[in-house]
Structure 1
Amino acid sequence: MQLKDLYRLLGLTGNEPSPFSSEGHKAQVKAEIWSKINDARQQLGEFPSPKVVSINRKQLILVAASITFFSVLGLLVHRKLTKRNAIIEYVTYKTPKGQTQMLELPDKSVIWLNAATEVRIPQKFTQQRDVYLIDGEAFFEVTPNKEKPFVVHSNGIETKVLGTGFNVKSMKNLAEIKVAVLHGRVAVGNAQQTFDVITKNQSVTYNKQTGTAQTKEVNTDEVVAWRNGDVVLRMVSFDEIITAIEDVYNVDIEYNATQFTYCRNYIRFSYKQPLAQVLDMLKAIQGIDYSVNGKTIKITGGAKCK
């Protein structure tokens, strides 16, 4: 701060102060400054002296214990929030058409993936074991763990278990999502409600178009026959049969889907059978004609269903 600024701050007369002309002039300026400082102290009042508070040994221990408690509590909350907000890394597995695959999860549970199936699995499970069936069909053999529920997410449908064996079929191009239990007990539902809790040889079929769910008895040995290289489809839509053939034989089938909207059929074949045999079975069932051009099959004709 320059001398002229100090003059202006203290309200001294004179605009631009000149250098000291003599020792007397210097003493005069010093006296004026101290006079202004004393006036300011009298207006503001003297600052009170700090108050000293005595604390006995017992109070000191209580204060220390309180500080320790809240420090530990804060640390625990921080760790919990950090763990909750931790980034979960996932791995995606996708089986090509015509192939199946078995996966072992971090908790030793096992997943069998049918042909043309895609799943997303965390590299490490946290408080809940979440697996995402993006598209296709998979069988789950879950290791029991009451502390960590196992949840399969499939296009808006959640299948919750503790330890069991069950099959989930959720394909993007099909109208129905199917969950069947081989052994154990699972709850099937969505974010709004639980459709049903099913046990051995029971199945829940959810219709994505109508938003309705139906529970029925099934032969789960037939449902999971694909794990042994067999396809058993009982009273299913024509679309589901076509999808199964495409996935097993890695072909594309062109057909008029609206013509077979209300059709429900039964078919059984092996992965080892020639494609022509399976198409001939479909011809006998639905009265269709077909032509093959490389990996593309065109279906014409066929009886309509009511």
Structure 2
Amino acid sequence: MKYFNRHFLEQLAQGRLSDKEKEEFRLWLKKAHHKTQQKWLDTFEKVQTENVNIDNIPDLQSPTFQNQKNDFRKWWVAAALILVFLTAGVLYFNLEPSQQIQYFSGAEQSKVFLSDSTEVNINQNGRISVLYTKELRQIELEGEASFKVTRNENRPLVVKTEEINTTVLGTEFNIKQSNKGIQISLKEGSVKITQDGYTQKLEPNEKWFWDRKTNNYLLLSFESADFKEVRFENEPLPDVLDFLEWQYDIDLQYDMRQYENCSISITINEMALKEVLDVISFVNKISFNPINENQYVLSGRCN
């Protein structure tokens, strides 16, 4: 069987299959026994996530098929496999399973359409786990993804990221996780963020940040939905510094007590980092002393 050898797995992993070969594989996979499907999923994901050499993967055993038309597990495993293998394209998923199904984007961004027409764009190396029932729409996210959620007031969608839940009825938003924490930006509609008794509702053009290290929250309103410009009007300087760490992926080291009573008014758009730091230095008489390309130590006292 041509699908059960290292050569085919290598072509699949490197994206060298034609559209016709992908379709033939998809049709074959839908008929395979769920144990066969799961074996393929485990093998392929091992190659993708652990960089296992193809030559070290043994040929899989010949497949077994089953005739039961209503074998539910066969269908949901097949759906997960098809999505994992064909991430280069646009995927449509039309089932409403009661089991969780995982989608992994790999090295390329993946677009997924769920059964309610909700669109999920998963960024590189991102992963979602989807659970849809008659009462519930739930997605667990690792990494970064953008969502265009089909409105359903009777069945809100909940996106789980670590200990933070984002609840939506129908909207367009983005969630990004990093070592620093989590940021959520809203383009349309509204979302509600909850964490251990904390609740925050977002409006369009707002971006919310949670700092993992300090457990602090920051909410900013941008000028438009492209999130390219934000205006600070007499805002606490530490809030602006927090935003800079997120926006430019830098680490600013300073004594919070020294700057907690400082404030600043500044508009930040697509400016280079040096330009922003120069403005803050001039206005507040603060020096940003570089340790390396991404780390700075602050010195001086603000006006």
Q: Whose Rg is larger?
A: 1
TM-score range for the pair, normalised by the shorter chain length = 0.3 to 0.5
- TM-score, normalization: structure 1? 0.46
